[in-house]
Amino acid sequence: MQSPADLRVPLDQFFKHIKPMFENIPFNQTLGLTLDSISREGVVFLFKPVARLLGNPDFQVLHGGAICAVIDSTGGAASMVGAYLNFLENNASAEDFKRLERISTVNLHIDFLRPGVGTSFTCVGKLNRAGSKIISISMEVCNEKGALIALGGGSFIY
């Protein structure tokens, strides 16, 4: 990732910086996550079910742990975007921007609404609120038909 002091760029340029960063995280590669977009509202990840992510291979159902991991990764990415926007709007120092590299999960909860069946999935992370150190994110996992598979919520520190 570029030096945090050099990241005072528009959101579309910031996307070009963080997309490879998130997609090159080995665990995100295991999950097959692709960062599709970022906006002032949050982020969107795409992924497809692969054999290593299935909990029930006979019925091609995603494992709950894989869904949890996708939700957590999405929350982390949405937190980074929310913190970045917070820093930009408040004319933060270069030292503050370095905090983007240390975002971590404080709390995560997940509600599984139906089995993870589908040929492709989307996980959307929506910014609820960015405080000075804690950020709140809501996440949704849907299949290609728009069926809501799981809801998540989390707090992340930066």
pLDDT at 64 (0 to 100):
97
CA quadruple 56, 60, 66, 72: dihedral sign: negative
Tell me the sheet residues that pair with 142.
122, 148
d(CA 156, CA 134): 6
Domain extent at residue 90: 4-157
**What H or E segment, with its residue span, contains residue 18?**
helix 11-23
Report the number of distinct structural domains present in the chain.
Answer: 1
What tens digit of pLDDT does each residue of 26-78 get? 999 999 999 999 999 999 999 999 999 999 889 999 999 999 999 999 999 99
User: Residue 4 pLDDT > 60, yes or no?
Assistant: no
Q: pLDDT tens across 92-118, in order?
A: 888 888 888 899 999 999 999 999 999
State whether residue 38 is helix, strand or coil. Answer: strand
| Better-predicted residue by pLDDT, 102 or 3 | 102
Kindly report the CATH number assigned to the domain that includes residue 102: 3.10.129.10
pTM of the prediction?
0.92
